[in-house]
Amino acid sequence: MVYLLLAAMIWGSSYGINCHAMKFSTAPAMGLFFGIVAMAMFCPFAGHESIRRLRLKFAAVGAVQLGLMYFFYQNAMAHLESHQIALFGLTTPIFVGLFSDLFEHKTPWRHLVFASISVGACAFAVGGNLCCGTPLRGFMESQISNAFYGLGQVLFSRLKSKHGAVADRSALFWMNCGSLLPLAAAMLLIPAPTPPVQFSWTGEQVATLLFLGIIPGAIGNYLWNKGVGSASTGTLLICNNMPAIFGLFLGRLLLGESGSWLRQCLSLSVLLALLLLQNRRRGKKFYA
C-alpha cells in the first residue's frame, strides 16, 4: 500500500512541471526520454534469473502501459493545464476495474461502485475548476492514455500473480524497453508541426528533464508497479485517484491554481477511509 501512495505523491508533484516541459519537446520524444532514463537506471537488474523467460511478455506490457500511455498522455499535456490533467485522470480507476473484471469474466458492477465513489470524491475536490473551453482533443487523448495505463496495470498484475518471484526492477527494465517501440514508431511516422526536441541546454531544461525522467518516470513507475503486484483491484481503484488529489494540492501550493482547501481535504479523507475499509475487508493493515 505504501508504494502506491508514495508513487501517487510523486506523480502529483509532476503535473505542472510536465506541462511546462512540453514547451520544448514533442510527446513521443518526451516518452522516449523517460524510457531511456528508466532503462539506464534499471539496467544492472536486466539479467535477473527470475525474468529470463518473461522478457518479451513484460516488454509487451510495457509497450501498452508505458509506451502508448506516454504518447497520449504527453500529447494531452500539450493541450491542457496541470489541474485539468489531474481532473481527467479520475477515469483511470474505472478502466482498471472494467479490464480486471473482463479478464476474470465477471460483471464490472462491484468495482464500478468503488471507482464511482472515489471518482466522485475527486470530482467534488475540483468543484468548478473544469473550464468549458477545455480542448476536446486534450480530453480525448487523456482518456485514451488512462485506458492504456489501466489495461497495463491489469496485465502487469496478472503476470505478477502468475510468476510471483519476478524481480520488479528487472521487469521495469524490460517494460521500458518495450515502451520505446510505439514511441519511436510514432516519432518516425506521425508528422509533427515542430522538431521533436527544441532544446537549448539551459540549466532549467536539463533539470526539468532529469527530474521527470528519474523521479516520476523511473522511480514513480517502479513504486507503483511494485504496489500493483500485491494490491487488490479495489485498492488499485482508489489509489488511482490519489495522484489527482495530490496534484490539485500541489497545483495550489506551487502554481497558484484555484481550488477549495475544504473540498480537497474532505475528498482526501473519503479516499483514505475507502482505503482503510478495503484493506480491513482483506484482513490487512493499512501499510501492508
Q: Mean pLDDT across the stretch 56-60?
A: 94
Do residues 32 and 187 lie in contact, with contact meaning Cβ atoms separated by under 8 Å? yes
pLDDT digits (tens, 9 = 90+) for 194-228: 666 666 667 778 888 888 889 998 999 889 888 87
Please tell me which residue, 284 or 68, carries the higher pLDDT value: 68
255 pLDDT band (50/70/90 cuts)? low
From CA 248, how far away is CA 204, in angstroms rounded?
23
From CA 117, how far away is CA 158, in angstroms rounded?
25
CA distances from 4 to 178, 186, 279 (A): 23, 30, 13
Please tell me which residue, 230 or 187, carries the higher pLDDT value: 187
* Beta carbons within 8 Å of 224's beta carbon, 6+ residues apart: 3, 4, 7
Nearest to 4 by CA among 273, 239, 274: 239
- Answer whether residue 51 shows pLDDT above 80: yes
Q: Mean pLDDT across the stretch 267-279?
A: 68
Sign of CA dihedral 42, 43, 48, 53: positive
- Answer whether residue 265 shows pLDDT above 80: no
AA identity, residue 11: W
* Beta carbons within 8 Å of 285's beta carbon, 6+ residues apart: 279
Grid coordinates representing 95 are 478502466
- Answer whether residue 182 shows pLDDT above 80: yes
For the ranges 89-93, 137-141, 150-154, 190-194, the lowest mean pLDDT is seen at: 190-194
Describe the chain by its helix, strand, coil percentages, rounded to 5. 75, 0, 20
- Answer whether residue 98 shows pLDDT above 70: yes
- Answer whether residue 281 shows pLDDT above 70: no
For the ranges 115-119, 144-148, 203-207, the lowest mean pLDDT is seen at: 115-119
- Answer whether residue 288 shows pLDDT above 60: no
41 pLDDT band (50/70/90 cuts)? very high
Do residues 173 and 46 lie in contact, with contact meaning Cβ atoms separated by under 8 Å? yes
pLDDT given for residue 283 in this prediction: 46
From CA 120, how far away is CA 180, in angstroms rounded?
35
From CA 217, how far away is CA 39, in angstroms rounded?
10
From CA 29, how far away is CA 257, in angstroms rounded?
28
Specify burial of residue 57 (Cβ count, 10 A radius: 0-12, 13-18, 19+). buried
pLDDT given for residue 286 in this prediction: 38
163 pLDDT band (50/70/90 cuts)? confident
pLDDT given for residue 151 in this prediction: 94
pLDDT given for residue 157 in this prediction: 86
